[in-house]
Structure 1
């Protein structure tokens, strides 16, 4: 009877046993795997939650590429949020404590949405970071931020 089914392997075949062991391991791994669906509005913390899970339960460290990507995203978010604040300050009619700050507004507003989507390199951010810091020290920007219920801005920006 064995001669009739030459294409079928014997149950004690070492290759068959190896494959069956791999299938068992894979099933065991899949049973332990947890899948979640995170839903929420933009800026609600979905990505932050996942990054924290990687830190707590994963390798605990980011690769150099991940660090570069996160850094670029942070630079982009800061510039984007400051653009929103500068625009809102003007629309709300809040005056600068120091009118000299007005000359630096274009340094931030020159970044278009497409510029920000392409990313902001570290050298550019280092150039404008003192300007952002200076704007933030002005009472007009602080007052504008306090009125953030009138426009959309990410909550983290104050930090």
Structure 2
């Protein structure tokens, strides 16, 4: 009975330590705690272009500060953040598909089936655009596990 209890406690400890040790990356890519480098995630959908947000019009969600260019955009985000937040935590969609995380450039983006995807750079965007459905599928296979590598 004592051996079983030790094994159980050892197992719990290893799970707890393993979980803590594996949480390497935050759920959303931020710079200085700010998502999408301060760009308004709702503007991609409403304006069809990236637009810098203001720290004066912001909201905290998922441990990140999200900046908006208008109060209306902030309210839309607050009502349904998952509808506007970038896929794969705002990390490069191409990189996630290859099993790693990298930062993104807010000017390299695409909305596919009402979902926002960001990539690292214009050069990476050219690669990603060659097979959007395939690259999204690869990234979906790796997400969110890639956060824990």
Structure whose residues are more often strand by fraction:
2
TM-score range, shorter chain: under 0.3
Could you tell me the TM-score, scaled by structure 2's length? 0.25
Choose between structure 1 and 2: higher helix proportion: 1
Q: Whose Rg is larger?
A: 1
- Using the size of structure 1 for normalisation, the TM-score is 0.24
